[in-house]
Amino acid sequence: MITIHEAKTKIELKEYIKFPFTLYKNNKYWVPPLIVDELEGFDKKNNPAFETAEAYFYVAKRNNEIVGRITAIINWSEVNDQQKKKVRFGWFDVIDDIEVTKALLEKVYELGRKNHLEYVEGPMGFSNLDKVGVLTEGFDQIGTMITWYNAPYYATHFEKLGYVKEKEYIESKFPFENVKLEFFEKANDLVKRRYQLSPLNFKTTAEVMPHVDKMFDLFNKSYASLSSFVAISNTQKEYFKKKYISFINPEFIKFVEDKDHNIIAFSIVMPSFTEALQKSKGKLFPFGFLRMLNAKKNCKDVIFYLIGVLPEYQNKAVTAVIFKEYFETFKEKGILNCFRTPELADNAASINLWKHFHPEIHKRRCTFKKEL
């Protein structure tokens, strides 16, 4: 018999968070999250996403053992401002038993029907900066700290339950040796002269912080046209600033400004923490913190996390300025491999940015949708 329980207390939420540690215990491609980081993100008093979203955390049990988990989510900004009558689900993990999947999803349907919503979509998080999508290709590829990993049967379960693919995402990688200076050096010089632009580089996190709010404002403007985008609020800016910026090597944050010192483009690249997280098994102490610091300083693999350009500067080769700066930084640090975070498969403009580097698509993922 399958029973569904809502995780509310800290102990229950820890059990919820640790279920995938058991499910993927012997899987060399799964990357565990930091348990303390997950707890913080699920704290409704701490995470400002809950100012405009509500979420409920459920575990499925059989014979008193957890066999699945899911989060049922409503992003009220999305529902009210964008008129998308959608209930979300995320943090979905399950054994290969479609009856467990069905029982977990029923809790999502209940939330949606209670609030007169029209369809369900997932897996996805509270906001656009959370993880998204179920893996459909690339099960033999190592994960990252900013994506979910899952077994092939997840998608099979959804399809058997009447879901259809909604949004498809691709992830690509390329060796740094594929990046040639001649690809963008001439465009870099031309664009800087024509539009009177200058790159901003940083050596310390303290130098970055005064610019972060402007970066998030630019993020909101540059991504506003995407159909699934929900703007980041001021309180979320503060939250993400504290949560993420200190994790990132300041040399891996690049801005471009105009002659009046307005930021018109930015990019964030993260060192890969994959190996450090796998060795730490979700714990920062006693050695996890040191492993993370070592990865931040010495890892030779990097992940292009975010890149944004002010709409009026899009299609003007401004990214040539950003790539030129990264080329110099990566060459100095001996970077070997570059990875892209999930990007919409139909976002031709974004995909076109990387064509000169001959990226290899090594993973595909998607969200699934079903009418209520």
- pLDDT string in tens for the chain (372-residue length): 999 999 999 999 999 999 999 999 999 999 999 999 999 999 999 999 999 999 999 999 999 999 999 999 999 999 998 899 999 999 999 999 999 999 999 999 999 999 999 999 999 999 877 999 999 999 999 999 999 999 999 999 999 999 999 999 999 999 999 999 888 889 999 999 999 999 999 999 999 998 888 888 998 888 877 766 777 888 888 888 887 787 789 999 999 999 999 999 999 999 999 999 999 999 988 899 999 999 999 999 999 998 999 999 988 999 999 999 999 999 999 999 999 999 999 988 888 889 889 999 999 999 999 999
> Residue 228 has what pLDDT?
64
Say if domain 2-172 classifies as CATH 3.40.630.30: yes
- Give span(s): CATH 3.40.630.30, the chain: 2-172, 174-362
Give me the residue label for tokens 């001959």.
358
Bridge partners (DSSP) listed for residue 66: 61
Distance, in Å, from the CA atom of 111 to the CA atom of 150, rounded to the nearest integer, reads 25
Q: Are strands 360-371 and 164-175 parallel, antiparallel or unpaired?
A: antiparallel
Q: For 174-362, which CATH superfamily applies?
A: Gcn5-related N-acetyltransferase (GNAT) (3.40.630.30)
Give the CB-side neighbour count of residue 216, counting CA atoms within 13 A: 21
The residue count of the chain comes to 372
* CA neighbor of 131 nearest in space, from 365, 360, 289: 365
- Say if CB 345 and CB 330 are below 8 A apart: no
> Residue 227 has what pLDDT?
63
Q: Are strands 53-62 and 301-309 parallel, antiparallel or unpaired?
A: unpaired
How far, in Å, are 78, 145, 177, 220, 226 from residue 229 at the CA level? 8, 21, 34, 9, 5
- Say if CB 170 and CB 345 are below 8 A apart: yes
> Residue 20 has what pLDDT?
98
Distance, in Å, from the CA atom of 235 to the CA atom of 40, rounded to the nearest integer, reads 15
Distance, in Å, from the CA atom of 318 to the CA atom of 216, rounded to the nearest integer, reads 18
| pTM beyond cutoff 0.85 | yes
CB atoms within 10 A of CB 190: 12
> Residue 67 has what pLDDT?
98
AA identity, residue 277: L
> Residue 38 has what pLDDT?
96
> Residue 310 has what pLDDT?
93
Distance, in Å, from the CA atom of 355 to the CA atom of 357, rounded to the nearest integer, reads 5
> Residue 315 has what pLDDT?
87
Residue 63, Ramachandran bin (φ over 0: left; ψ between -120 and 50: alpha; else beta): left
AA identity, residue 273: F
